[in-house]
């Protein structure tokens, strides 16, 4: 059972990726879960089926008299009527990260951090450990394949969690094993400089329990810099990647259609020798995520020789290069990529599977703050596509910034000679793409906003 204060929790924004996972675990542990969300969704439906009481819309009267706490995320504005009601009635307000930390207590936790790849790597661990019969608990920032599959309350002693650096909430956790995939400047509303990001990650690493392990990329410059700043003597540092000094070293990466084959050299502590295994999603960066997952599981004592083959069971997360369908010889794929590094990585992965066809991208920049800082780099990354359609910025929780528009992205791509156009009307996009696409082409809808809903519309337009 959850701590006493979480026996009747109320979640504000219960349908969100991170929030719904915690609500699900608490419901599975026997808590009386309630909450509210702006709209009905498949996730809300999945929670109702678990017995959660979910209100649509936000209002003070949605907060039950006997609520033991109100769980909020950084995305919820302080003027929310349910938060105001909780404050007035003296009901404790708990940040999502504190709630997750409480759920992880008493378990052997693996926390997965990094600027990119967290959801995929956490999911790879959840799927592979589950397939080995270890029944881990997990909390992921995305759904594995259907709504509500982003979290699970397991009977095993392992808890795998995605650790979010965006608002520094990952400082709340005390994992036995932590993964840091990469360190780059992002989340400009919360971090003024790369130096601040390093300091934040050092604080996270300092939270690893004594005698625990840090799995860190040997290839990413930011991750290497972070590792060089760690002075703890009671911590095993396990470097993974292609670099010569990697402890779990990638010897071979071979693309095989929408999958790949990887061979790693294992340290003696993980059984030594070479271990070949299959990764069932495309692209070198996903193969590297799988190697990090392998090292983290092995650091907890799961035999690497068992974990390698089990990693092939992972076939993707919704929105991470998820195939939406094919119409008239054109395949439509959805990608969550919104940072320049992610955009480039996904375009390179897809390029390897395009054969003779072209790669066409519909890109929606995410957040004014991110576009202001990284819009030029986004455009440069989009130049890897054969053609790009750029939509208006998806604001999410932000107010507009004067002078910051998607034109920043368009101009940067055009400056490199890319074929790129702006499209300000979301409803016009499917027709524009259908007019561009030819049989054999791959169309990528890309971004962290509502661009994800365009896949089926594009397919329908191609059919017609």
Residue 326 Cα distances to 145, 251, 265, 405, 444, angstroms: 18, 35, 39, 32, 12
- Catalytic residue of the set 24, 122, 162, 405: 162
Residues comprising the binding site? 114-120
Q: Around Cβ 212, how many Cβ atoms within 10 Å?
A: 22
Which is catalytic among the residues 24, 43, 82, 119?
Answer: 119
Q: In a 10 Å sphere around its CB, with 0-12 CB exposed, 13-18 middle and 19+ buried, how is residue 219 labelled?
A: middle
For residue 449, give the nearest of 374, 330, 354, 363 by alpha carbon.
363
Could you confirm whether 445 is annotated as catalytic? no
Encoded tokens for 290: 């799988």
Say which DSSP state 269 is in: G
Catalytic residue of the set 24, 43, 82, 118: 118
Please give the Cα distance from 216 to 291 (Å, whole number): 11
Q: How many residues does the chain have?
A: 464
Q: Do the strands 330-335 and 442-446 form a parallel or antiparallel pair, or are they unpaired?
A: parallel
Contacts 24+ apart (CB under 8 A), 64-69: 64/8, 64/10, 64/34, 66/8, 67/8, 67/9, 67/10, 67/34, 67/91, 68/4, 68/5, 68/6, 68/7, 68/8, 68/9, 68/92, 69/5, 69/6, 69/8, 69/9, 69/10, 69/93, 69/94
Side-chain-side CA neighbours of residue 379 (13 Å): 25
Q: Of 265, 239, 240, 267, give the one whose Cα is nearest residue 252.
A: 265
- Answer positive or negative: Cα dihedral of 134, 136, 142, 145: positive
* CA atoms of 124 and 464, how far apart (whole Å): 38
The region, left, alpha or beta by phi > 0 then psi within -120 to 50, assigned to residue 325 is left
Sorted by sequence, the CB contacts under 8 Å of residue 106 that are 6+ apart come out as none
Does the active-site annotation cover 274? no
SS3 of residue 70 by DSSP = strand
Rounded to whole angstroms, the Cα distance separating 112 from 139 reads 11
Query: Which residue is associated with the tokens 């969550």?
Result: 336
Verify whether residue 122 is a known catalytic residue: no
Q: Which residues are annotated as a binding site for ATP?
A: 114-120
d(CA 455, CA 109): 36
Token code pair at residue 225: 């810099």
Please identify every residue annotated as catalytic. 118-119, 162
């Amino acid at each position: 059972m959850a701590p006493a204060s979480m026996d009747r929790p109320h979640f504000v924004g219960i349908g969100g990726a991170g929030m719904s996972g915690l609500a699900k675990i608490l419901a599975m542990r026997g808590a009386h879960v309630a909450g509210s969300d702006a709209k009905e969704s498949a996730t809300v439906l999945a929670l109702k089926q678990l017995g959660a009481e979910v209100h649509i819309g936000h209002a003070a009267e949605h907060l039950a008299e006997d609520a033991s706490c109100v769980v909020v995320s950084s995305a919820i504005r302080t003027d929310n009527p349910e938060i105001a009601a909780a404050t007035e009635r003296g009901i404790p307000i708990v940040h999502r990260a504190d709630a997750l930390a409480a759920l992880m207590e008493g378990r052997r936790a693996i926390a997965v951090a990094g600027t990119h790849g967290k959801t995929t790597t956490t999911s790879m661990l959840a799927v592979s450990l589950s397939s080995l019969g270890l029944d881990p608990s997990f909390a992921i920032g995305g759904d594995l394949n259907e709504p509500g599959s982003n979290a699970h309350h397991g009977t095993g002693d392992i808890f795998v969690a995605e650790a979010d650096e965006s608002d520094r909430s990952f400082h709340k956790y005390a994992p036995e094993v932590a993964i840091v995939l990469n360190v780059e400047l992002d989340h400009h509303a919360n971090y003024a400089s790369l130096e601040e990001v390093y300091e934040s990650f050092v604080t996270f690493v300092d939270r690893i329990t004594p005698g625990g392990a840090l799995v860190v990329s040997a290839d990413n410059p930011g991750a290497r810099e972070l590792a060089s700043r760690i002075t703890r003597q009671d911590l095993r540092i396990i470097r993974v990647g292609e670099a010569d000094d990697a402890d779990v070293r990638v010897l071979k990466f071979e693309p095989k259609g929408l999958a790949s084959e990887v061979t790693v050299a294992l340290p003696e502590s993980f059984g030594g020798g070479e271990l070949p295994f299959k990764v069932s999603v495309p692209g070198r960066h996903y193969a590297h995520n799988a190697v990090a997952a392998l090292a983290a599981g092995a650091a907890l004592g799961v035999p690497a020789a068992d974990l390698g083959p089990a990693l092939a069971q992972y076939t993707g997360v919704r929105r991470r290069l998820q195939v939406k369908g094919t119409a008239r010889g054109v395949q439509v794929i959805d990608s969550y990529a919104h940072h320049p590094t992610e955009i480039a990585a996904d375009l390179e992965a897809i390029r390897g599977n395009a054969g003779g066809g072209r790669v066409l991208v519909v890109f929606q920049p995410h957040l004014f703050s991110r576009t202001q800082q990284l819009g030029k780099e986004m455009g440069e990354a989009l130049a890897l596509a054969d053609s790009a359609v750029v939509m208006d910025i998806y604001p999410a929780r932000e107010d507009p910034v004067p002078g910051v528009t998607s034109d920043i992205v368009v101009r940067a791509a055009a400056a490199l000679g890319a074929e790129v156009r702006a499209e300000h009307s979301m409803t016009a996009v499917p027709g524009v793409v259908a007019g561009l696409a030819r049989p054999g082409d791959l169309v990528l809808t890309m971004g962290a906003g509502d661009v994800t809903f365009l896949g089926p519309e594009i397919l329908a337009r191609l059919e017609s």
